[in-house]
Amino acid sequence: MREEEMRKEILEKVAEYAREFHLKKQQEKDENFKEGDRVPYASRVYDEKEMVNLVDSALEFWLTAGRYTEEFEKKFAEYLGVRFVSLVNSGSSANLCAFAALTSPLLGERALRRGDEVITVAAGFPTTVNPIIQYGCVPVFIDVEIPGYSIKTDLLEEAYTEKTKAVMMAHTLGNPFNIKKVKDFCDKHGLWLVEDNCDSLGSLYTIDGETKQTGTIGDIGTSSFYPPHHMTMGEGGAVYTNNPLLHKIIRSMRDWGRDCICPPGHDNFCGHRYDGTYGELPKGYDHKYVYSHFGYNLKATDMQAAVGVAQLEKFPQFAEKRRENFKYLYEKLANGGAEEKLILPVAEENSDPCWFGFIVTCRDGVDRKKVVPYIESKNVQTRMLFAGNLIKHPCFDEMRKEGKGFRVVGDLTNTDLIMDRSFWVGVYPGMTREKLDYMAKVILEAINL
């Protein structure tokens, strides 16, 4: 009883502390905002519930995956409308785990092997592509459309060869790619489809008359919970699927490659810990130490999951606020004549994006090298579209010199255009109208210098 009383007292104090020294300060900062104050492209949005959950988990000192992890995986699966979710320690790990799962021998002839090709785009974040290369497969790069910033689907058939085994790419800044065409292409050729949903959690896409969450239409979806993303747990990510076999493989890849399905802290979950035969091991070898894959330890901690549980409760409001902020900023810029100087973003047909950011591309005669420094000088934070053109980065130097390791279908004209002329600003849920007004004003000033 004494323990329960102390725990309650501690958590009440944590809530009080959060309200007094976190929420109050942020509220005062927002209320006192004036032009010239810092406008970040993203920031955490939270209240006392996240901090109470975090301390509640810390008091248990379980540290690794536990009850909050189980709760998060269950509730996140319910939100997405999928059967299986596996929490991992980052969005990059989620992509690694997702791709690694497709190399499993349990998939038979459909397993990806060295030399197999995977269709993707170069205009994005590197860890969508890195696992393809790390597993000895060949990324096949296709250009993207502007102003949607997603793959040119009319080049898919041209990219296809007998070595093609999968398509893996991201929904760009919340704007879905043409999932209908991509999925039809994958179904036609028997390819895996991995949706990197790290920048697009909450985005919706209507396919065959049914509206679904992005990340849930392909074979595997991934999410990131890094602080700038749609919701956060500090570091963290998730891999999700409706396929029971893929789920089994994903869990194995996440958990050291083990064959055992015991949750942390549990033994003999299956009831057959000492009576199985595996590989060339002696009969009855401890199943907790049998490894069916070359896996990793990609688990998140229960403290991260505890924050995620509180964030997930707020997420529908986060998503709606992002949409509102995007619409408001779009109207401000459009009404201010920005379309004469900038290409403004356009949502993919049949989609309702939960925008991660507001991306623009400078038209002819507008120099990004002048526009962005001006915007930054006014304390408005900007970002490039990640790598711009990934294959022009130093990590590709050796492959470029050798002329192997990747393929490009057609040209990457728009990808290069994005690299040279595009940038984006934030629409995160904590953005106030005053900040949006100031941001629009500064952008309009910058393009009219």
Q: Is 90 helix (H, G, I), strand (E, B) or coil?
A: coil
Q: Is 7 helix (H, G, I), strand (E, B) or coil?
A: helix
Cite the active site residues: 229
Distance CA 261, CA 249 (A): 10
Q: Is 118 helix (H, G, I), strand (E, B) or coil?
A: strand
Are the CB atoms for 198 and 237 separated by under 8 Å? Answer: yes
Are the CB atoms for 175 and 347 separated by under 8 Å? Answer: yes
Distance CA 260, CA 268 (A): 9
* DSSP conformational letter for 154: G
How large is the angle between the packed helices 302-335 and 67-80, nearest 10 degrees?
A: 40
Distance CA 387, CA 9 (A): 48
Amino acid at 202: G
Are the CB atoms for 232 and 430 separated by under 8 Å? Answer: no
Report, in this order, helix, strand and coil percent for the chain, each rounded to 5.
Answer: 45, 15, 40
Q: If we measure between CA atoms, which residue out of 328, 345, 353, 329 comes closest to residue 443?
A: 329
Question: 364: which 2 tokens?
Answer: 């002819």
Are the CB atoms for 85 and 69 separated by under 8 Å? Answer: no
